Structure 1
Amino acid sequence: MRIVRGRPLHRTLLRSRLLITTELKDRIAFIKLARPATRNALAIDDWVALKTAIEGINSTSARVIVLASTLDATFCAGSDLKAMEVLVGQPELVVEFRLRMREAIEAVAAASIPTMANIQGDCFGAGVALALACDIRVAGGRARFGVTPAKLGISYPVEDIARLVKAVGSGQASRLLMVADTISAADAHRTGLVQMLGEVAEAERVATAIANNAPQSVATMKRVIQATMQGNKLASDEIFDGFFASEAFAEGLNAFKDKRPPIYADEPRSVEK
């Protein structure tokens, strides 16, 4: 197991005690948050460490990234409010905080392989933004969700509001942001905030299923989904047609005929616009 520690970016910012651990197991890369004292609330250097962890995984043989927590009742409590206190009256530090948080969340969204949030406890504030950047969100029965900047007298980043609206619609986004309700996992599932309900075993099953599928196919479909959501158009006919000459398709057909699990090569297929 490799441990990545965030490096403080400014002397006036509180030093983080968060450990972000990464582990590669059976082609699944696990990134886990472990800061019990603050319920996994992230300070500026934690966001930097998270971005570093994501970038490191992109160069490995991992086929899926799972964001999770080592704590039983918490996924992520959001940004560290104690660390944010030093931002008051410091506009340059506010910009630095916003940029570091944005870079980490966008690194999750831009990962070349699928990302999944395994949410088995409380998920609040920036934790929701982090989960929304993942392709798939699985929530256990103990999970709760809240987007509460209005209770603190601040706003939510525009990029994260846009993802929230895409996930749940404008009405439910208004409820979460303006009322600042805390909702259950079942409610989050009904609104579309999470795609699946399940405990740790179910989340691991989903991750394993992704890892066992053809990485070329998965990477391509992730790229097409992202392009569609952004209103971009890819050369979809050429992409579709090209797979019929691929080694992955040949292996898939042979495995089907032989009644055995397919064994796919690690190299992802690149997709050009």
Structure 2
Amino acid sequence: MALNNYVGVAGINLVAALLSIPVIAAGIWLSTQVDSACVQLLKWPLIGLGVAVLAVGVAGFVGAFWRLPWLLLAYLVGMLLLVVALACLAVFVFVVTAGGASSGHAVPSRAFLEYDLEDFSGWLRGRVADDGRWEQIKTCLAATPVCSDVNHTYGASAQDFFSAHITPLQSGCCKPPTRCGYTFVTPIFWISPISASADPDCASWTNDQSQLCYSCSSCKAALLQDLRKQWRRADLILLVATVLLLAVYAFGCFAFRTAKTDELFRRYRQGHT
């Protein structure tokens, strides 16, 4: 293969390696979000696949730059498998975050929204709402400043709180559901109504600052809402990176085949001179 052909293929492989950066960055970004940090389902697949794409892309660059056809062939096979894996992950994330009420349910005289578990896919609910998993997630959430932040920001009056556009987590985990009829004192301290409710979420609420509504179904649903929003953003990055990587890979295959054809033609001419 001529030197300029090797350099061209090396450049293409370097571009493929660079396309791993947004995939890795999406995984790192998820780890900085409270919800995804407590539910590490998508973070590691993104980072793992991104690192694999980077490693295979660098291997392809090395194989082209130092003229190692066997390493280039390994690159072509490995990158194809990774592109398929990335595409499958992108489709999977889209499917499990699709459907249901994506924006929550409006509450009378409230600016914030509330959420129900039925709004989410069975797969997501199974990975979060299961009692065994939720105990660990609940402990993680309780250690974050999510509820103390809403108390400090909107604790001046009931009207300030009711007109605030709080986050799904703050709506579902830091206060009792509006339907329970609790009386506002602060965003994280409420007076129980005189008549008891059979609603499990209403009975789960407590003014204990380490408990609040972390055991409520509304908290689980709020977490899923945040996860769905974050996963969709990460999935968009994943989808774009996969399409670009597929285009670069196809171009690389074409360049590699062209270069091999040129080399065979050159050897043929040398053998007949």
Q: Which has the higher strand share?
A: 1
Confirm or deny a common fold (TM above 0.5).
Answer: no
TM-score by length of 2: 0.22
- Higher-Rg structure is 2
Which of the pair has the greater relative contact order for Cα pairs under 8 Å at 6+ separation?
A: 2
Q: Which has the higher helix share?
A: 2
TM-score by length of 1: 0.22
